[in-house]
A and B are shown apart, each in its own frame.
Chain A
Amino acid sequence: MAAASSASPAAILKDAGLFALVAFGLCVPIVSHRTDLGADGLELTPRWGLVAGLCAAIFAVRLVQRLVLERRAARAVLTPSPHQATEPVGAEPNAAQYPSSLGLPRLGLPLFVGFALFLPLIAALASGGLSPARYWIDLGILILTYVMLGWGLNIVVGLAGLLDLGYVAFYAVGAYSYALLSTVFGLSFWVCLPLAGLFAGLWGVMLGFPVLRLRGDYLAIVTLAFGEIIRLVLINWTDVTGGSAGISSIPRATFFGVPFKAGPDGFSALVGLPFDPMHRIVFLYYLILALALLTSLVTLRLRRLPLGRAWEALREDEIACRSLGIDTTKTKLTAFALGAMFGGFAGSFFAVRQGFVSPESFNFLESAIILAIVVLGGMGSQLGVAVAAVAMVGGPELLRNLGFLKAVFGEGFDPNEFRLLLFGLAMVAMMIWRPRGLISDRMPTVALGQRKAIGKDLVREGHG
């Protein structure tokens, strides 16, 4: 970094060239030839175009990185940015207020919600009908599921600072709760939804009670184990859960009791539209949107209440919290239970959407993705989590459609195979550029207006 602040353009070019050279050196043995099964044994197919492409890409990325770092270093010299600091920096004059960059998070969330509200309409108009838009609406549902899971886990990890690596366990509890309650007892989705949340929350408390006195790494390991335990129980408790085969033919969602089907007592007859199977999909879309928004609203509201503020304070300093009279165990437990409950809601949505659950859907990778969404999003930021979910879930999906990559990397190139690679690249890039997450500015929960009012009072009393 020290070099970055005083490097000349030539030095930057040289540096990027060096990176490209190293990449070339690595590519020669690894990428430059492909072994194919030919007529007489193995044949080597040269792939120099691919090598050139990779080297050029690395050159470009390094160039951009250096330039950005350069600019940032120059800016940092001029104006220290205390709003991102967690330790004292001696920059008082411009530290008095939260920075203007808050405008983005403040506007961003309503924008995101607004877009989400109209997505089915936009998709239908753009692709000329509901049925052709199915792909986009399905993708929207998938992304929103992760947005909701991210927002739920955000309560635990982002706000309360408890590293939970087994969040998927609560997702599973919710999914199986709905699957079992509906198939065994015939309960409807709207009865099962709160029950699933309740069960997941209960599990959160049951797990939380013994483990929440652990901290950091230890807590992470225990929650990781808990996630695995739930999955193994689901696999092995065959009588109840159906083992690895899972539970199928779970009843579909109904419009508050009215099924989505053709015929006189179906949803379409009720509202007087011609029957379209897409109605159910659109309904599911708005259902998960509503659930996600509920999560977000509850979180935003709680952040303004003493409980939510206690979560955040807990993340910062547990000992200080305790000596301020906050029962840290109870506070942690509520965060854990609430996060688990939203995981449970999301789980029962998952079950009603798929109509099928099996332990496979609840493996560790799922927990890791949700956690990555929260971390990438900037712990604690609602909009950040939403953006990260779009990028992490929608990104790989979009990769499929990037046909031009085939032109660059050759016919056999399947971008989808590179999903995890891109995942890793994104993580590395984030660590370099935004180590605190996409949106790292924590919004104060108290408005400026309040401060002014108090200021005036004091001035009137002659203390100002």
Chain B
Amino acid sequence: MNAPLLSLRGVSAYYGSVAALRGVDLDVNEGEIVTLIGANGAGKSTLMMTVFGAPRARSGTIAFAGEDITARPTHAIARLGLAQSPEGRRVFPRMSVQENLQMGAALHGGRYFGQDLEKVCTLFPRLKERLNQRAGTMSGGEQQMLAIGRALMSRPRLLMLDEPSLGLAPLVVKQIFSAISALNREEGMTIFLVEQNAYHALKLAHRGSVLVNGRITLSGPARALLDDPSIKAAYLEGGHAPTASVGEGVQA
């Protein structure tokens, strides 16, 4: 088997003296969708940002496409072909949709802008109608589409999405998830998906991991996780169980 596209080994990250990640091991192989689920404050967003170097991993190594990126600056990591749609979307509110997309394409100096714009517009027809609208005035769902589109404009080898379904109506969530799955199926895009919406995420993904209090407590094929009773209890039925009991349940 080939080496994984992204691999984390024993990664720990801290905010001040508070540990947010404690020895995380994680692999994402080329062509798969890997999802990371976990309760609020488990450290999912932190894990994604640590891959991007902010906060920096205090111990452990992160490798992407065979290169050690643990100590690289964020922009250099992005240039290796890693793109994200961050938590809270972070589109540029005063710039138009098209300009936001151009920012995504800036990495390649806009060389493939035309054809990539078409691709993104095919994936999210809503964006095509609104290319000249100010991004900050778009609805939450549209902004999410833009954030994903902007990430795609950089032609990433790995697309990392942080809670793309957050705060969206079920219909829009469905749209976004079907776009994600289409990306993977049709273009072979490797996707790392952080989600609260465990059911949808596990349905979509090939493999999944569960993060509890900064530790990966369980990982395996998404199907298996969907059927796992502890996951069912904690993430799939009746909302989120308290973090501590989930941790114990899984480790037991």
Which A residues contact B (CB, under 8 angstroms)? Answer: 82-83, 85-92, 95-98, 306, 309-310, 312-313, 316-317, 319-328, 442, 444-446, 448, 450-451, 454-455, 457-458, 461, 463
Contacts and interface: CB of A to CB of B under 8 A. Distances in A.
B110 to A, nearest CB: 7
Given A96-B130, A444-B98, A451-B131, A324 B136 contact: no
Contacts of B131: 446, 451, 454
B117 A454 contact: yes
A99 B96 CA distance: 13
B137 A91 contact: yes
22 contacts: A83-B137, A85-B134, A87-B136, A92-B139, A95-B138, A306-B109, A309-B106, A320-B86, A320-B91, A322-B73, A322-B78, A323-B74, A323-B84, A324-B106, A325-B79, A328-B75, A446-B131, A454-B114, A454-B131, A458-B118, A458-B121, A463-B122
Contacts of A86: 93-94, 136
Nearest to B48: A323
Given A82-B137, A325-B154, 10 more contacts: A86-B93, A96-B129, A306-B106, A312-B94, A322-B74, A325-B106, A327-B75, A446-B99, A446-B131, A454-B114
B240 interface: no
Contacts of B110: 306
A339 B20 CA distance: 41
A97 B132 contact: yes
Interface in B130-156: 130-134, 136-140, 143, 150, 154
B14 to A, nearest CB: 19
Contacts of B223: none
A461 B125 CA distance: 13
A203 B181 CA distance: 52
Contact of B118 (A92, A321, A457): A457
B177 interface: no
B104 interface: yes
Nearest to A463: B122
B92 A313 contact: yes
A86 B121 CA distance: 23
Contacts of B73: 322, 327
A95 B52 CA distance: 34
A321 B54 CA distance: 13
Contact of A312 (B75, B92, B125): B92
A90 B141 CA distance: 12
Category for how many chain B residues contact A: 35 or more
Interface string B82-126: 011010001111111011001110110110001001100110010
A95 B103 contact: no
B132 A88 contact: no
B128 interface: yes
Contact of B103 (A87, A91, A98, A309): A309
A98 B129 CA distance: 13
A323 B76 CA distance: 9
Contacts of A313: 92, 95, 103
A310 B103 contact: yes
Nearest to A87: B136
What 9 A-B pairs are tightest by C-beta distance, nearest first?
Answer: A325-B78, A82-B137, A320-B90, A322-B74, A316-B92, A325-B107, A444-B96, A325-B79, A86-B93
Contacts of B99: 309, 312, 444-446
Given A86-B136, A88-B137, A319-B86, A324 B94 contact: no
A364 B51 CA distance: 44
Given A83-B134, A313-B92, A323 B118 contact: no
